[in-house]
Amino acid sequence: MASSSAVGKLSREEFRRQKDLDAARKAGTAPAALDEEGRPINPHIPQYISQAPWYLDTGAPSLSHQRRPSPDAPPSSINDRWYDRNLKAGPAAKKYRKGACENCGAITHKKQDCLERPRKKGAKYSNKDIARDEVIQNIDAGYDAKRDRWNGYDAADHKKIYEEYEAVEAERQRLREEEIDNQTTTDLAAVRKVAKAGKAEGKETDPDFGSSDEEDADVDKYAEAADAVGQKMDTKTRITVRNLRIREDVAKYLINLDPSSAYYDPKTRSMRDNPVQNVAPEDAQFAGDNFLRHSGEAPEVEQLQLFAWNSAARGHDVHLNANPTQGQLLHHEFRQKKEELKDSSKVSVLARYGGAEYLESVPKELLQGQTEEYVEYSRTGQVVHGKERAKARSKYAEDAYINNHTAVWGSYYDVASSQWGYKCCHSLVHISYCTGDAGKEASQASSAQNLLKASVAVDNAPPKSMVDAHLEKSEADRKGKGKQRAGELDVEAEQGKLSEALSEEKKRKSRADEGDGRFATKKSKGEAHEGKKFDVTEDELESYRMNRRMAEDPMANYVDQEV
């Protein structure tokens, strides 16, 4: 665990106590270990994650080796504590010392550990050329550090190997070029000599020796031995062997080492996107497989393959791989007929309906062509340098307000009446004349007065006791049961009552000059007695429901406009 990363070997008792502590931390009975920043360490983290390697181990519980180092932190190195190679201590001794190496005279090692060439007469007996003593360093390295094969390795030493190989490769390249130049010169001289001799003999025997076929055949016959640069030709088998891949090419995944760049699939060795986004695909070293797939003659091959599939589906014997020449010719003929048919149909339509003058417009290359204006944008899309391109405007009128309005219809919503209107004057009448701030003040005063009257009408209503409510409910239930027992109802009488209630509702709305019609008191025949309660019949309630405004209906405020 994270707490068991201390350096040193634990005794059996300490190991048992450590295991008990880890189990208690996992169970939650003991507090978790804290790192150097005072943050608790999850006890369920595996040991191979929580335990730091030997070159990053601080001897205390920590998870800093699992976190990304800050960019300002100095880079860590495993070569901080290692032996200094070939480091000698001070000047050499003048005479042999007791206990020193009998071969070289250094006191830091024995004869069997001496690395110098064995002398014919050692320093013990000659007392000459005594070597200097080595510097003995005590490096407290752990088990892993002692067995690390790269510990203490200086990467600068590898530069010597590179330089040596580069020198050898340069010399080999120079010799190869000289050999090719000499061989090419010799082969061309031999070809010219043989061709000239054959031409002279042909003139004596055949006057029509001037045909270039035999001359070219002789040149080819003697030029087969000349090897071209970058390939090897076997004249017996007539096989040209080329290198499948140039070793100097950079791999796709090495072009951009940023992990958030283009995705590289190692299984198929494909990188579809451009690894360097800020470089144009035409100038990039590698612009992605998608760019290569749609560049050059690849689109033409795709169109040819699609034509072959469509032709085979219609019963024609066309196959791109079996007979590519036939497919190419048929595709070319198909495109010519298609263009001719398109032109003929266009001419016939223009001859019948007219409108050729509208087709004479500015060429598309001029409308959407490139210009010399330089525009630089920021990451948020704002223009940093240059002039932004003008946006295309619609053919319809934009920002056109009618009747002196400064806002469009539907920019204001009245909650009290559930209607839309104009924001500039709060008018709820469509295509009305704008009254400005005066209309706003009038609308606010009207809505406030209506709300005040409605609240007063509700407050002045006499309160209803629980006994009265219970008696009314019992009476309504009794009437309902009596209607059910009466059997079939008189349909004509019910329709007459409903029509009468609808007419009464319309009259009530026309009489309701003050306040909202929903809060106006009922005044019917023989029931408008002061201080007495009155009931709303089912016909009147149904007529109210039929005539009330449906605010949730999306077509409630629809106004038909004649065009």
User: Mind listing the pLDDT tens digit for each residue in 321-330?
Assistant: 888 898 899 9
**How far is CA 140 from its chain centroid?**
50
d(CA 24, CA 31): 8
d(CA 21, CA 25): 6
- % of the chain beyond a pLDDT of 90: 17
Strands 88-89 and 133-134: antiparallel
pTM > 0.75: no
Task: Report, as an integer, the average pLDDT of 61-85.
Answer: 73
Nearest to 226 by CA among 252, 257, 189: 189
**Greatest extent of the chain over all pairs of C-alpha atoms, in Å:** 151
pLDDT band at 395 (very low <50, low <70, confident <90, very high): confident
pLDDT at 518: 47
Q: How confident is the model at residue 184 (pLDDT cuts 50, 70, 90)?
A: low
Give the 3-state secondary structure of residue 34.
strand
What the block records as the tokens of 552 is 């949730």
125's enclosing H/E stretch is helix 123-126
pLDDT one-digit tens code per residue, 501-548: 778 877 777 776 545 444 444 444 444 444 444 567 777 777 777 776
Helices (H), 286-423: 289-293, 298-313, 324-353, 364-367
Burial class (CB in 10 A: 0-12, 13-18, 19+), 373: exposed
Half-sphere exposure of 198 (CA within 13 A, CB side): 18
Is-contact 86 131, C-beta < 8 A? Answer: no
- Report the chain's mean pLDDT, rounded to a whole number: 76
Q: Is the pLDDT score of 362 beyond 60?
A: yes
221 vs 389, residue with greater confidence: 389
Q: What is the pLDDT of residue 294?
A: 78
